[in-house]
Structures are given as C-alpha cells and as structure tokens.
Homo-oligomer: A and B are copies of this chain.
Amino acid sequence: MAKETFPEFSSHYPLLLTTFMKRPVKVYPNEIGVVYRNHVTGEYFRFTWMEWYKRTCRLANALKKLNINPGEPGKPGDRVATMALNTHRHLEIYYAAPCSGAMLHTINVRLSPEHIIFTINHAGDKILFFDDILLRLVEGIYDHIKDTVKMFVYMSDKPGLPDTKIENLYEYEELLKAESDEYEWPHLSEDNYATLCYTTGTTGLPKGAMFTHRAIYLLCIHVQAYTVCSNDPARVFLGENTVPMIITPLFHIHGWGAPFSYVLMGVKIVLPGTFTVQGFCELVQTERVSTVGVVPTILALLLEYPDLDKYDLSSLVSVAVGGGALPLGLKNKIEKKLPGFTASSGYGMTETAPTTIAAFVKKYMSDWPKEKLDEVRVKTGLPLPGLDIEVVDENGKPIPHDDNTLGEIVIRGPWVMEKYYKNPQKTAEVWRNGWFHTGDMAKIDEEDFIVIADRMSDLIRSGAEMVPTVLLENLAAMADFVLEATVVGVPDEVWGEKAMAIIKLIPGSDKNEQDLIDFLTAEGVDKGKITKWMLPKLVAIVDEIPKTSVGKFNKIAIRKDLDKFLANAKDMKSN
C-alpha cells in the first residue's frame, strides 16, 4: 500500500477500478444507478448510486471480517469466486473484491460440473458467492470443492438460509447488515490483480486469464475513446442518457467490460438476472433500454418470439454483437423487425479482456448507401486505438491486404493478459515473439478492415485450399429462409475434408437443401464472394444446432455427433 503523502502520486497515480466505482457516487448520488429484475419472480429492485455504493462498502467490510486478504503486484490476493447471474449483488462483488485488493473469479456456471470443479480447485477459491437458483448445482459439486473453499455465501431476494449440506454458509444480506456503510478503500498498485477469467475449455481444460486493475481500466477507457472517433451516420448519440441492459453474463469475460464502463459513465444499468426473451422485452419497455451487447443467437431468439410485436421496443437503438460473427442476413432480418435498431460486430476473447476489434464506419464512408454501410458494419472492424494488431502468415510476417490471403491474428497492448494462472506452458504457447497468438484466422481487406474467417481449428482443409467457414455461414444466413447456419468439415476420401452446411430454417419455411445451394450459388459464386469449389458438398436441415455455453455454434459437439448429422444430410454431389 502506498503512503499518503508523496509527489510520486502524480506520475504514478494508479489506474484503479476504485476510480470507476467512485465517479457515479460523486456525480449522481441520488439517481437510480442499478435496476435488477428477478427473471423468475418478475420482481424489480432499484438502487441509487449512493445506495449501491454503500452496499458495496458493507460487502468490503464483510470480506475483511471474513479474512479475505489483499494481494500485491505479481501476487494475487485471496480468490473470491462467484456463481451468479446478472444481479445487483454480483455487481457489488465486482467492485468490493478487486477494489479491496482481492481477486475476483467469476465462474462460468454453464461449464460442465467437471470443469467448474477444476476451475475452483485450480484457482484455490477461498470463498464462493452463489445465487439461490444455483443451490442444486453447488450442492452437486460440494464434495469436490469443500477442501478448497472455506466459506460459502448464499444470495437470494428472499431472507433465510436453505436446508442444505453446505457448511460454513453465510447469508449475503445478513453479512451486509452487520457492517458499516463506510469503507476506506486501499491505495492499491495498478498492477494488483483484479480478476481471473477461465476460458471455456473447448479444446482441453479451462485456462485462467489474469487481469490487473490497470488492464481493465485501460480497456474501458480506450473503448470509450473509440466511440468518440466513430462516426456511423446511423448512430444515435445518447451520452449519459444511454440505458444499457447487460445481457452478457457477468461470468463471461467481465460481461464484455460493461460492468466497468457503465459504472464509470454513471448511466442507469439494467440487470435481467439471466436472459429470457420475455424478460428482455419487458425490461426494454419499462426501463427504456437503449443499448445491449449480445451474441448472434440472441437476435435469432428474438426473431422467433411470437409476442415480439406486443412490446414497445422503440428505445432500443444500438446493439453490439460479439462472441461470433454477425451474419448480414441476421442483421437485416432483425432490423426489419425492429426499425431504429442498428447492430454492428466486434471481436475479442477471454485473454484480451475482451474487446480488441470493432465495427467502424470510416469518415469517407459517411454518405455511402445503407446497404453498403451494412456490409461495413458486419466486417468485424478495425483495431481499437492503443492496441497493436497484425494478421500474420506462418512465418510471423504480415499478410497482404487483399480478399484472398488468410493469416493468424496476433495482438499486444495494454489489456492483453500477461499470463495464465499457474500455467507457464500454455502461456508460452500463446505468447511468442512478443505477440499474443489468438488462434483465429482473418483476412485484411483493401480498406484495412480485419475480417474474421475462422478459428484455426475450424478451418476446412480441402486439397491444398482452405474453406473459410465463417464466410459460408454468413452468406447462408443472408437467405431469408435461414434462421441459423453453421459449416463444418467432414472427412472426404478425395480432398481430405469437405464442407457440410447445417441449417435451421425460419419457422414455417418449406425450403429444402437445394434451395440453399441455389442461394449460395447466386449470392456467393455468381457475385464473386466465394469460388464454386467452396460450396458445401453436404447440407443438413435440423431443428436445433448445438451451441456452447456462450451461444456460439458448438463445432466440437457437432463433430462428436457427426454420424447423426451425416445421416440427416443430403449429398449435393450434383453441384
């Protein structure tokens, strides 16, 4: 801890999340800052910034009393774990833990129980906060984590503790009641660790990415600076009158930074517990929500919802899409349904905190027609200012800016994770030659936009060529009869691999496999976007496409069940 009197405070004034936490309390102490709606009971809870801050102080005092100790640069503080949805309590822990010097570990509750157990023991979590709705899940893993986790805290809108085998169990609201609503926040170093976020572990065990206060602070402030540069004519500038609903689970990579950025801005934050289509529509209507960040799947769910027209969703003007490419077809369909709503794409990953590349309308494009601009808005985008991003070939050399060459995205910058927790081997695999290697493939087009093509492991290798599956998926989603589309490689005797398209039709459609090929031929091959040999050799129409816990198409699950999909697929050899 730094001393109180020091000229050095100036040039090394630390970049701390504490600064974010305090701003709305100074500027808007008596305005409503946090609105939480319980998605099961439909009950609303509202807090002014001062009320929220005082609860956060009480929690910090409780953590101290429970002997949760701060860390120092290079040495994490005690790990404070959460298994929780998007509630005001989770947002309180988001600040109380890091700002008191502890390390926040937000557990992805959609991982397999085996992986959840692994992350808790690997992280060495000392205390675990969990929502009432997740009681059975915690009880189910209890025997495997009880030697690691010393204390459990039960969070519920209803008073009282449940009848359970979990020992050392505290009640969140009772802990708060017992404490003072003032807390002297320590002068931490900006290099103190703030958070620990495990990857989804699609290709092995989850890895824990560590982030310092400085890294998260700089992520958020640069995202805001990017917003100032951006000049999309469709953009509605709301400033502090923005009303964000945080749909991205707070257990996913800092909820994409939203819980930090929006507190700094002092805007009203809407928390829906977990996403339900009905809860989403109701909250947009009652709170006049303007802004959300979603995975593409959520847009597909909205399109399917029969009661969508019954709600007033006119306040919704801006949607950022991440966690997967935004197909132009899906963007068009949702914007047709909800005029005034503009969706644009972005890219990031757990290890990058996450935002790194985002949609951008360049200044000379301002007067382009909407159709052409929409193509720009789904192009993934430009690097955020402050980041150094290259797309490189196998020798680490930047690829040319054209429409054909693919390379791997490599990144360095102030909010890329330094290392995985207790995993020097995996750290060495991703950090090479001064660059973090993402494992994601992209091209750079002639206007210098980075366009994600694929995970390296998802690329289809057909003969000497590579089929960029995301390109095919985006093209297929353009068809007005397609709700969702994914493309995977399947073994082929001649070419090594060939492409299989798996699609879900929009409700009531009577189109068939050949209609998809005809569409891809007309919109893709004939327009020069793909070559003929890239066309899928197999098409399967299904009721449901498997997804990962974060809503991405789960290609690993598809490959596991490949025989089932192959049995369902029609051979389009005639093409």
Is A238 on the interface with B (CB-CB < 8 A)?
A: yes
Tell me if A214 is interfacial: C-beta within 8 Å of chain B.
yes
Task: Check if A31 is an interface residue, CB within 8 A of chain B.
Answer: yes
| Interface status of A533 (Cβ within 8 A of chain B) | no
CB-CB < 8 A to A228: which residues of B?
224-225, 227-228, 239, 265
A7 touches B221 (CB 8 A): no
Residues of B within 8 Å of A225, CB to CB, are: 221, 224-225, 228, 264
Q: Is the Cβ of B27 less than 8 Å from the Cβ of A434?
A: no
- Identify the 6 closest CB pairs spanning chains A and B, nearest first: A231-B239, A11-B418, A224-B225, A7-B431, A240-B363, A10-B418
A67 — which chain B residues lie within 8 A by C-beta? none
Q: Which residues 427-461 in A have Cβ within 8 Å of B in the complex?
A: 427, 431-434, 436, 448
A8 touching B240, Cβ below 8 Å: no
Q: Are A382 and B6 in contact (CB under 8 A)?
A: no
Cβ < 8 Å to B, chain A residues 210-236: 212, 214-215, 218, 221-222, 224-225, 227-231, 235
CB < 8 Å neighbour of A27 from B215, B221, B362, B386: B362
A472 contacts partner chain B, Cβ-Cβ < 8 Å: no
Question: How would residues 1 to 42 of chain A score, 1 for a CB under 8 Å from any chain B CB and 0 otherwise?
Answer: 000111111111101000100010011100100000000000
Tell me whether B10 and A412 are in contact (CB under 8 A).
yes
Flag A237-248 by CB within 8 Å of B: 1 or 0 each: 111110000000
Residues of B with C-beta under 8 A to A362: 27-28, 240
Q: A221-B222, A224-B228 are in contact. List 15 more A-B contacts (CB 8 A).
A: A5-B432, A5-B433, A5-B434, A7-B427, A11-B191, A19-B385, A23-B385, A28-B362, A28-B363, A228-B228, A228-B239, A230-B239, A237-B237, A240-B362, A264-B385
On chain B, the residues within 8 Å of A305 by CB distance are: none
Q: Which residues of B contact A386 (CB under 8 A)?
A: 15, 19, 221
Instruction: Return chain B residues, CB-CB under 8 Å to A448.
Output: 26-27
**How far, in Å, is A546 (CB) from chain B's closest CB?**
33
Chain B residues, Cβ within 8 Å of A433? 4-5
Q: Is A292 an interface residue (CB 8 A)?
A: no
**How far in angstroms is the closest Cβ of chain B from A445?**
14
Docked pose: A364 CA to B418 CA in angstroms: 41
Residues of B within 8 A of A230 (CB): 239-240
Chain B's closest residue to A239 (CB) is B231
What's the Cα separation between A231 and B243 when bound, in Å?
A: 13
Measured CA separation A305–B171 after assembly (Å): 72
Whether B229 lies near A265 (C-beta < 8 A) is yes
- Chain B residue with minimal CB distance to A14? B414
In this assembly, does A413 line the interface, its C-beta being within 8 Å of a C-beta of chain B? yes
A266 touches B (CB below 8 Å): yes
Can you list 14 pairs linking A and B with CB atoms under 8 Å apart? A8-B418, A10-B418, A10-B431, A11-B417, A13-B388, A27-B448, A28-B363, A221-B386, A224-B224, A225-B228, A228-B228, A231-B238, A241-B363, A266-B363
How near does chain B come to A233, taking the closest CB pair, in angstroms? 10
- Report chain B residues within 8 Å CB of A168: none
Knowing A13-B412, A448-B26 are in contact, say whether A7-B231 is a contact too (CB < 8 A).
no
Cβ of A31 and Cβ of B364 under 8 Å apart?
A: yes
Cross-chain contact B27 with A266 (CB below 8 angstroms): no
The CA-CA distance from A448 to B436 in the complex, in Å, is: 44
Asked if A416 lies at the interface with its beta carbon under 8 angstroms from chain B, I say: yes
B7 touches A363 (CB 8 A): no
Interface members, chain A 366-398 (any B CB < 8 Å):
366, 382, 385-386, 388
Is residue A419 within 8 Å, beta carbon to beta carbon, of the partner chain?
Answer: yes
Task: State in angstroms the CA–CA spacing of A13 and B222 once bound together.
Answer: 14
The smallest C-beta distance from A20 to any residue of chain B, in angstroms, reads: 8
Residues of B within 8 A of A363 (CB): 28, 31, 239-241, 266
CA–CA, A13 to B5, complex, Å?
28
- Among residues of B, the one whose C-beta sits closest to the C-beta of A73 is B11
A287 CB to nearest chain B CB (Å): 15
**Which residues does chain B contribute within 8 Å of A364, judged by CB atoms?**
31
Whether the pair B31, A416 counts as a contact (CB closer than 8 A) is no
The distance in angstroms between the C-alpha atoms of A191 and B8, with both chains bound, is 12
Residues of B within 8 A of A214 (CB): 11
Task: Write the nearest CB–CB distance from A401 to chain B, whole angstroms.
Answer: 11
